Amino acid sequence: MPLPALSLSLQFGDLPDAALHRAALPRHKVIRCIRHALEADAEITVRIVDAEEGQALNRDYRGKDYATNVLTFDYATEPMVMADLVLCAPVVAREAKELKKSLADHYAHLLVHGTLHAQGWDHETGEEDAEAMEARETEILAGLGVADPYGRG
């Protein structure tokens, strides 16, 4: 079965270490991660931001006054998935270092995670939903050659 079609806009905000993040996120890899997590054709914007922009978005849209690793703004799931994924570069880099994972692999996980959110998956609605979402993420990432992000394998 062919993978869903994807129209992607990949944007990088004003980052002091933009080259590091651009190297971890070549366009073809971003497309590959997202397409493997899609269940339908999609139009998705991925924006890589600094801590200030990440915190402002999280505060303004989720009421949480801190920068988080990924925010998903989902606009439609049918007939096409339409969403924005916002990844906060300094948070992703810090987490990758703490988890002893490559920056590219951590970004792959968060792209898959955000794409699943854009399609209605939610890990905050209960333990069963969280386990199902984690299992789906792990399955997709294994297909991409990325180790289990939850360290179970």
CA 61 to CA 73: how far, in whole Å?
A: 9
Helices (H), ranges, the chain: 18-24, 27-37, 51-62, 89-99, 103-118, 127-143
Distance of CA 144 to the CA centre of its chain: 14
Helix, strand, or coil (residue 17): coil
Is 109 annotated to bind ligand? no
CA 6 to CA 31: how far, in whole Å?
A: 7
* Tokens read off for 93: 């880099």
Is 21 annotated to bind ligand? no
Binding residues: 113, 117, 123
Binding residues for Zn(2+): 113, 117, 123
